[in-house]
């Protein structure tokens, strides 16, 4: 099986106006750090909340979730500010990233939590976020771009065409210039290939929907965290979709920056299968062909179903 070497610097760079994996070059790890590694809209905030609940073992946070768990590679603030905040943290750190595994530094004493979701659901959820985003924040992110960084392309108006472009995008470093063209399957595959490593753990959105309490216990096991039985019910309740939506001002990613017009709308519906009513035969055929041609069948089944795939 493949075994990556410990590396302070990743072999590839993923960069666009929204995020830049080179920002990880400034990061100094601590033993026990947690990296939450997910494609967009695959349960990132949910997993961050679960980690926060397990680390602090109380249902209410004192500060916004993004203060505890920043998105390090996001170009919403200078990297020096984010690193300074992380260095000042005294709790066990848990850091968000949307960077594939080959764009990440690898440390054997850090835990990587990769979360997957049916790519069709991930796309529908991601696509619905566009109208809720504040354009001013995107202009701010672009102000942090370096000379030579790729500029975003104009969005395609037709949703089905956007899906066709998205699902067939290669997901390679060279093609990462548009964050809207970073499909979920290549990202998940980059971690899937190393799932045999003891510090890389895969979780799935469907499993969290199906059995949140059980999956939270799996996360606790992966992190080596013990929780007293009387404490569990309150933590599980705080991680429910409805509870998180009610607390959206504290939990929506970077909400205090004004990135969302409505933080509650970030937690859209939290359901699966929305693509049935949106994508047509052409899109579904293209999806099936792309997944079959590019990825291991076992991974495809897991991406679509989670642990129910067997």
| Mean predicted lDDT score pLDDT of the chain | 89
| pLDDT at 16 (0 to 100) | 83
pLDDT recorded at residue 144: 66
Closest CA to 138 of 149, 124, 126, 152: 152
| Catalytic choice (98, 196, 204, 276) | 98
Number of Cβ within a 10 Å radius of residue 36: 25
* Res. 258: pLDDT tops 70: no
Give 266's pLDDT tier (boundaries 50, 70, 90): low
Average pLDDT of the segment spanning 71-95: 94
CATH class name, domain 21-309 = alpha beta
> In the annotation, is 201 catalytic?
no
Residue 210 above 60 pLDDT? yes
Whether residue 231 is predicted with pLDDT greater than 90 in this model: the reply is yes
Q: Would you say residue 3 has pLDDT above 60?
A: no
Asked if residue 31 has pLDDT above 90, the reply is yes
Comparing 201 with 245, which gets the higher pLDDT?
Answer: 201
Confidence of residue 48 (pLDDT cuts 50, 70, 90): very high
Q: Is the pLDDT confidence value at 234 over 80? A: yes
């Amino acid at each position: 099986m493949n075994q990556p070497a410990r590396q302070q610097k990743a072999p590839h760079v993923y960069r666009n106006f929204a995020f830049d994996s080179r920002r990880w070059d400034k990061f100094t790890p601590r033993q026990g750090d947690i990296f939450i590694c997910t494609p967009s809209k695959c349960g990132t905030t949910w997993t961050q909340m679960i980690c926060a609940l397990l680390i602090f073992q109380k249902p209410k946070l004192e500060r916004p979730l993004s203060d505890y768990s920043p998105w390090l590679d996001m170009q919403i603030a200078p990297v020096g500010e984010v690193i300074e905040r992380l260095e000042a943290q005294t709790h066990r750190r848990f850091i968000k990233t949307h960077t594939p595994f080959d764009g990440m530094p690898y440390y054997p004493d850090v835990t990587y939590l990769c979360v997957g979701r049916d790519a069709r659901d991930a796309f529908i959820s991601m696509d619905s976020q566009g109208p809720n985003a504040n354009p001013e924040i995107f202009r701010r992110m672009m102000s942090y771009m370096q000379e030579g960084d790729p500029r975003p392309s104009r969005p395609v108006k037709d949703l089905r065409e956007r899906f066709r472009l998205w699902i067939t995008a290669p997901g390679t470093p060279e093609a990462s210039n548009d964050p809207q063209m970073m499909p979920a399957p290549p990202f998940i595959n980059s971690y899937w290939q190393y799932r045999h490593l003891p510090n890389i753990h895969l979780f799935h959105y469907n499993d969290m929907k199906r059995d949140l309490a059980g999956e939270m216990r799996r996360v606790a096991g992966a992190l080596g965290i013990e929780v007293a039985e009387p404490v569990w019910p309150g933590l599980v309740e705080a991680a429910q979709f409805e509870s998180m939506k009610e607390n959206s001002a504290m939990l929506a990613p970077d909400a205090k920056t004004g990135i969302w017009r409505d933080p509650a709308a970030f937690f859209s519906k939290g359901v699966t299968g929305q693509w049935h009513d949106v994508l047509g035969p052409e899109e579904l055929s293209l999806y099936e062909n792309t997944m079959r041609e590019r990825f291991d069948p076992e991974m495809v089944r897991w991406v679509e179903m989670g642990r129910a795939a067997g």
